[in-house]
Structure 1
Amino acid sequence: MGHQRLSIMDPEHGHQPIVYTDDSGADSAVVANGEIYNFRELRKQFDLPEGRTGSDSEVLLQLYQKLGPEMCTHLNGIFGFVVVSEDGRQMMAARDHCGIKPLYIGYGADGRVWFASELKSLVDQCERIDEFPEGHYWTPDDGFVRWYRPEWDSDEYVPRAGLEGLREALKEAVRSQCMSDVPFGLLLSGGLDSAVVGLLLKEVLDERGEQMWTYTIGQEGSPDVTAARMMAEFLGSKHEEYLFESAEAFDVVEKVIYHLETYEPELIRSAIPNYFLARLAGSRVKMVLTGEGSDELFGGYLYFRDAPDETAFFKELRRIFGHLHNVNCQRADRMTMAHALEGRVPFLDPNVIDAVMAVDPALKMINGEERPEKWALRTLFEGEIPDAVLWRTKAMQCEGVGMNWVAELQAMCEDKVSDEEFATAAARFPLNTPHSKEEYYYRSIFDKYYSGLDKFIHVWEGGCRAAGAEWKSDQYTRAGLANVAQLGKGLGKDGADLELAAGKP
């Protein structure tokens, strides 16, 4: 068992593998990637002994010895882990409820089974590799068993709850995810979601008498940077930002694809700013909170404006939530861990997920200016967050960080692919054939490192998230958001709109 540790809980003593010897003298060991936020509560609940270390991962070994694989239903955290006995006959592996942390399983020619957090670790070791499904555990006897079965993820479920208790659930998730023995901060995008996390985080840190640290990425004058500066001043945080140029974005494309392990263009575009942001934050702290996951719970993407009814709205939430492990979670985890930084996601706490998915979709439906996207979340914090941020139009990160950099990036990619090369796209890549020179360029880089591993790539139907919905929407195309000018609403001087119509901040 091997483990490269990012030391957040008990840096001095929590080294892995953690090994226990039972009464018969046999050893068992655990390696884990992630955090178990409720490990102290689990020790009390199941009358477990105090750990030999201060590491939250140690409770996994204790629980396995007491409960076996069914322990997963009691865990609140982000994780991929393996527990194994000394002789290898008793073992299990598991992944968290929605795939916030990655895990792969590989099968060797000699019958051995391998597990790893990254695809690249298994490429030269195994005859066959599969993604370990989110919300499952695995044992040699039973294979994969789904342990995460939320009530709301059913065709028969009808959400009818109000907004009561949502703020409290979010506050508790933020509080529990502040668990750390090292300094940490907040990725402040300038959007609603990170502003909500920031507001709740400030309440927690004020109780503890600690300073807040915030980090932002973007181009000068962009909506994200403008809004993040407003919010950082409002929160009183120690704020840092990195302002990137379009040429820098092109220069890191290969590194991003190597760490991200995909060629999906929408994901790569959004990962590039994440890469710069994680590099900045990772040079200062070891852990950050983020606003990831809110859009999949509240229907924050602009194409939800065209949802025909509440049933279709909720069905679409379930669809895109089911892809989180290959999209938002993959991007957030891979870009942060590339810089020895752990990203935590309060909106994806299982208790928060249950509470928000129970809300009547009538409270989430979009109705023009009066009921914009994520109205339900915005109303919970009205009067607590500056209006320019609270009511700001939703922007995906690749859009909000700068208005023209994606077009410039695409042009740079096109310059690297000749017409003759692009003409071979169908023959060279018969599966998920690139539709543009940008896509061809990304695919060529992926093929350099992960040739033949196309099955791991999540490709949205129609080339973008919106294209897979039951309804048609002109908000997004394969190349990105159709109208970027709307993203500057209310962010100019004295509440005016930023001048974005020309495609430049």
Structure 2
Amino acid sequence: MLGVFSGSIVSPPDELVAAGSRTPSPKITATALVNRFLQTHSSAVSMQIGDDAQLAYTHQNESVIQPRSFAVKDDIFCLFEGALDNLGSLKQQYGLAKSANEVVLMIEAYKALRDRAPYPPNHVVGHLEGNFAFIVYDKSTSTLFVATDQQAKVPLYWGITADGWVAFADDADLLKGACGKSLASFPQGCFFSTAFGELRSYENPKSKVTAVPATEEEIWGAKFMVEGSAVLAATK
């Protein structure tokens, strides 16, 4: 799955901007990145959302137990990859039909977060049990909400394209070819919300998430970690 967002929606992470400046490498624009994704996956579906966001996904090579899904409701767009172990109880909590799947649940969970302020986002994501990564984009408020599970069993990466858009994808090689060194694993057990303006840990909401510059030999520009934790908050 792939999501690209302009600077009017999300400011590129300073650490990834710096990484790209330290070790310049070839990059392509956000449009070229989406086109490359579509050319590589003949069955892919893409959605242009206004002038500042685009989503794309494919069922090609997806895991049987961790499928990719897409839904849109009330101008809220969601890409979801993975599966929730407690989907049944969450559907009851949010008053959803038995037929609702993970991506529909995530839209309703986001709506609860948006409309029931002050509703802590770490509670929303912290209640999800299973393996997952998701991208939620609310067109009505130009809000982006992204998260991964506590063990990063579903990989997610983010980077900066040549024209300064922020890209999220489950394919590291795809972003490596588009973002150069301005690339990192999205940290496990964390969420990013433009409504709150920063990357946060939902496992340890009081701990700050910081980035450590990577060595030039690594494909990553930086590794994000939760302060006070001995474990890097990034996939290996």
Q: What TM-score, normalized to structure 1?
A: 0.27
CA apart distance, 1:91:
1.4
CA apart distance, 1:129:
1.1
CA apart distance, 1:82:
0.3
1:40 aligns with 2:79: no
For residue 200 of structure 2, the aligned residue among 145, 158, 163 is: 145
CA apart distance, 1:34:
1.0
What one-letter code is carried by the residue in structure 2 that aligns with 1:50? A
1:56 is aligned to 102
Structure 2 residue ranges without an equivalent (≥5): 1-54, 115-120, 208-217, 220-228
The 1:7/1:48 distance shift into structure 2, 3 A limit, reads farther
2:190 is aligned to 136
1:480 is aligned to none
1:66 is aligned to 112
How far apart in 1 are the matches of 2:192 and 2:56?
19
For residue 114 of structure 1, the aligned residue among 137, 160, 167 is: 167
How far apart in 2 are the matches of 1:15 and 1:4?
7
Identity of aligned residues (%): 23
Q: Kindly indicate which of the two structures has a greater share of residues assigned to helix.
A: 1
1:291 is aligned to none
Q: Kindly indicate which of the two structures has a greater share of residues assigned to strand.
A: 2
CA apart distance, 1:42:
1.1
Spell out the pairing of 1:385-404 with structure 2 (5 A cutoff): none
Greater than 4 Å deviation, 4+ residue runs:
none
CA apart distance, 1:121:
1.5
How far apart in 2 are the matches of 1:122 and 1:96?
20
1:96 aligns with 2:139: no
**Kept after mapping to 2: 8 A contact 1:36/1:57:** no
**What secondary structure, in the 3-state scheme, does the structure 1 residue paired with 2:73 have?**
strand
1:78 aligns with 2:147: no
CA apart distance, 1:2:
1.6
CA apart distance, 1:30:
0.8
CA apart distance, 1:88:
7.0
What one-letter code is carried by the residue in structure 2 that aligns with 1:43? K
CA RMSD of aligned residues (A): 3.1
The 1:88/1:324 distance shift into structure 2, 3 A limit, reads closer
**Kept after mapping to 1: 8 A contact 2:160/2:166:** yes
**Relative contact order, CA 8 A, sep 6+: which one is greater?**
2
What one-letter code is carried by the residue in structure 2 that aligns with 1:38? N
CA apart distance, 1:67:
2.0
**What secondary structure, in the 3-state scheme, does the structure 1 residue paired with 2:199 have?**
strand
1:3 aligns with 2:60: no
**What secondary structure, in the 3-state scheme, does the structure 2 residue paired with 1:125 have?**
helix
2:32 is aligned to none
CA apart distance, 1:126:
2.3
Q: What TM-score, normalized to structure 2?
A: 0.55
**Kept after mapping to 2: 8 A contact 1:18/1:31:** yes
2:44 is aligned to none
Spell out the pairing of 1:86-485 with structure 2 (5 A cutoff): 86=139, 89-126=142-179, 128-140=182-194, 141-149=196-204, 319=230, 322=231, 326-327=235-236
1:28 aligns with 2:76: yes
